[in-house]
Amino acid sequence: MEKTLFVVRGEETLPRWQAAFPEGEHGTVEQARSSIGSGDLVWVSERVDEWPTLVRQWSQRGAAVVVLSYRPSQAQGLEALEAGARGYVHALANVEVLRQAATVVTHQGLWVGPELLSRVVGSSFRAMGGAPRASREWLERLTERERAVALAVADGQSNKEVARRLAISDRTVKSHLSAIFRKLEVRDRMQLVLRLSQSETVDS
Amino acid sequence: MEKTLFVVRGEETLPRWQAAFPEGEHGTVEQARSSIGSGDLVWVSERVDEWPTLVRQWSQRGAAVVVLSYRPSQAQGLEALEAGARGYVHALANVEVLRQAATVVTHQGLWVGPELLSRVVGSSFRAMGGAPRASREWLERLTERERAVALAVADGQSNKEVARRLAISDRTVKSHLSAIFRKLEVRDRMQLVLRLSQSETVDS
DNA sequence: AAACCTATCGTACCGATGGCCTAGATGGCC
DNA sequence: GGCCATCTAGGCCATCGGTACGATAGGTTT
């Protein structure tokens, strides 16, 4: 019954997970599927396919489920909580944080990062020791024209719409965008939007 | 935890509170106001006037604040959490529950009680939106599967990545997306992500 | 003058995206 | 049994998005 196990994909298990829970078992979904019951502490990697479904099943069985994410986001965190997870932790969190989260969730508490917490309950959690996020300094790295393009794109506009707004060709918009992606190290406009909307809420 | 104290109105203190924390101090707002600092565990009765303001102050100072309510409700619970409280417990909870809550909140967890947890989590979307009704409404218009796709896409993932996560074909992802766009009346994933991030980040 | 940055526009290429259509399987409801 | 919603998946096709590899022109720095 009261056992700790990590559900991962392949050989994903990290040393720090074992360090935090030497007694914990590690395995894939197939190995874990049937053995999980009430009172168990289950860590599920976001790399596991269909983790929301699994979280739903296991939490309904009474297990305390924590989702390990490599790229935490509000949307994913809410997805985890909605599925019944009691915790949402960065997969690379240190041993102390993992143990702390374990303590909390096994005591019927909710463990989420300060950032997500602020989304869940409002903005006032920012002042509670949550590390202040990076500012929009990275926008300074862009030229004036690139910044205009970035903001327009982050507004949800297509390349053609941006071109019309700035009175330039859509080819030029693409050129600027390539430069933007390279400088900000994002892969596409979607990541740009996410990054911009994140830093915007922190500043305001 | 530095010290434990109960902030009450008059002589409200219950025996079970003292049983759970024999070392805890009990007093009114005037007595407690200045002595609360980082690391303290503070229990605040809902009978204390202007408790949300006090919760906000003390939680910003780094104290772990738990609100004791005689008439727990979803609205009040959210108000407490929004003010920065880490816990929301029934004032008549038994000793075990009180100690459990203390364990959780002093470990940076969130304690809202098993019976209220589902409601708090379920309402988190509403709690985050500037236009609560609207955001909840359009999310509810989606099926469960569509919601999962929408959240994943709003996280910046490509169709293929979503397909991998949900263990379905990318054709199916596109099918779901078409339904999502039609239902939510957005033209593409960019508008979807904007709408989601807006309702997620607007402070109210 | 040479080097460099910036803004502009072009072609070509290719994967990603989204609309429109069909359709099997499932399960709930009348 | 019929009806309907949902999830799944495929084909077809037009468009969009992003990169590679340019080119030209104006400005600044060295």
Mean pLDDT over A77-98 rounds to 80
Please tell me whether residues B138 and B112 are part of one structural domain: no
Q: How many domains does chain B have?
A: 2
**Crossing angle for the helix pair B159-166 and B170-184, nearest 10 degrees?**
110
Please tell me whether residues A144 and A184 are part of one structural domain: yes
The answer to whether A201 contacts B196, with C-beta atoms less than 8 Å apart, is no
DSSP B64-82: EEEEEESS--HHHHHHHHH
User: Which of B122, B155, B179 marks a domain boundary?
Assistant: B122
A136 DSSP assignment:
G
In this complex, the nucleotide whose C1' atom is nearest to the CA atom of residue A167 is C8
What phi and psi values does residue A180 have, to the nearest 5 degrees? -65, -50
The integer distance in angstroms from the CA atom of B150 to the C1' atom of C25 is: 24
Residue of higher predicted confidence among A174 and B132:
A174
> In the beta sheet, which residues pair with residue B26?
B6
What is the helix (H) or strand (E) element at residue A5, kind and residue range?
Answer: strand A4-7
The integer distance in angstroms from the CA atom of A158 to the C1' atom of C6 is: 23
Q: What residues in chain B have per-residue pLDDT under 50? A: 115, 118-136, 199-204
pLDDT at A169: 92
Chain-wide mean pLDDT for chain A?
Answer: 76
In this complex, the nucleotide whose C1' atom is nearest to the CA atom of residue B177 is C18
Alpha-carbon span B106 to A100, nearest angstrom: 10
Neighbours of A134 (CB within 10 A): 11
Query: Among A63-72, A124-133, B119-128, B137-146, which stretch is predicted with the lowest mean pLDDT?
Result: A124-133
Please tell me whether residues A42 and A118 are part of one structural domain: yes
Chain A partners of B103 at a C-beta cutoff of 8 Å? 103-104, 107, 109
Q: What are the start-end ranges of the E strands in A9-157?
A: 25-27, 41-45, 64-69, 87-90, 111-112
Residue of B116, B161, B165, B203 to mutate, testing the A interface (most A Cβ within 10 Å of its Cβ): B165
Alpha-carbon span A134 to A114, nearest angstrom: 15
Please tell me whether residues A76 and A107 are part of one structural domain: yes
Residue of higher predicted confidence among A60 and A191:
A191
Neighbours of B80 (CB within 10 A): 27
Q: Which residue is nearest to nucleotide C5 (CA to C1')?
A: A143
Please tell me whether residues A37 and A109 are part of one structural domain: yes
- Nearest by CB: A122 against B82, B101, B189: B82
Which CATH number goes with the domain that contains B90?
Answer: 3.40.50.2300
Please tell me whether residues A71 and A103 are part of one structural domain: yes
Neighbours of A148 (CB within 10 A): 16
The answer to whether B74 and B52 are in contact (CB under 8 A) is: no
The answer to whether B194 contacts A193, with C-beta atoms less than 8 Å apart, is yes
Please return the burial class of B86, using the count of CB atoms within 10 Å of its CB with bins 0-12, 13-18 and 19+: buried
Q: Angle at Cα A173 formed by Cα A169 and Cα A177, nearest 5°?
A: 165
Please tell me whether residues B97 and B136 are part of one structural domain: no
Residue of higher predicted confidence among B112 and A121:
B112
The integer distance in angstroms from the CA atom of A170 to the C1' atom of C11 is: 14
The answer to whether A88 and A69 are in contact (CB under 8 A) is: yes
The answer to whether B82 and B61 are in contact (CB under 8 A) is: no
Query: Among A109-123, A146-160, A181-195, B161-175, which stretch is predicted with the lowest mean pLDDT?
Result: A109-123
pLDDT at B174: 95
The integer distance in angstroms from the CA atom of A201 to the C1' atom of C7 is: 31
pLDDT at B113: 59
Please tell me whether residues A146 and A116 are part of one structural domain: no
3-state SS of A17-29?
HHHHCCCCEEECH
Alpha-carbon span A11 to A28, nearest angstrom: 9
pLDDT at A126: 30
Which CATH number goes with the domain that contains B143?
Answer: 1.10.10.10
Please tell me whether residues A27 and A107 are part of one structural domain: yes
Confidence check: pLDDT of A16 > 60: yes
Query: Among A42-56, A97-111, A117-131, A150-164, which stretch is predicted with the lowest mean pLDDT?
Result: A117-131
User: Which of A127, A145, A178 marks a domain boundary?
Assistant: A127
Residue of higher predicted confidence among A103 and A115:
A103
User: Which of B91, B122, B153 marks a domain boundary?
Assistant: B122
Please tell me whether residues A88 and A15 are part of one structural domain: yes
What CA dihedral angle connects A77, A82, A87 and A91, to 10 degrees?
-40
The answer to whether A15 and A95 are in contact (CB under 8 A) is: no
Alpha-carbon span A188 to A90, nearest angstrom: 24
Residue written as token pair 């830093």: A199
Alpha carbon of B134 to those of A19, A21, A202, B138, B202: distances in Å? 46, 44, 24, 6, 13
Confidence check: pLDDT of A174 > 90: yes
Domain span holding position A161: 136-203
> In the beta sheet, which residues pair with residue A90?
A69
The answer to whether A119 contacts B107, with C-beta atoms less than 8 Å apart, is no
Please tell me whether residues A21 and A107 are part of one structural domain: yes
- Nearest by CB: A121 against B104, B127, B154: B127
User: Quick one: pLDDT band at residue A176, thresholds 50, 70, 90?
Assistant: very high
Please tell me whether residues B51 and B105 are part of one structural domain: yes
User: Quick one: pLDDT band at residue A130, thresholds 50, 70, 90?
Assistant: very low
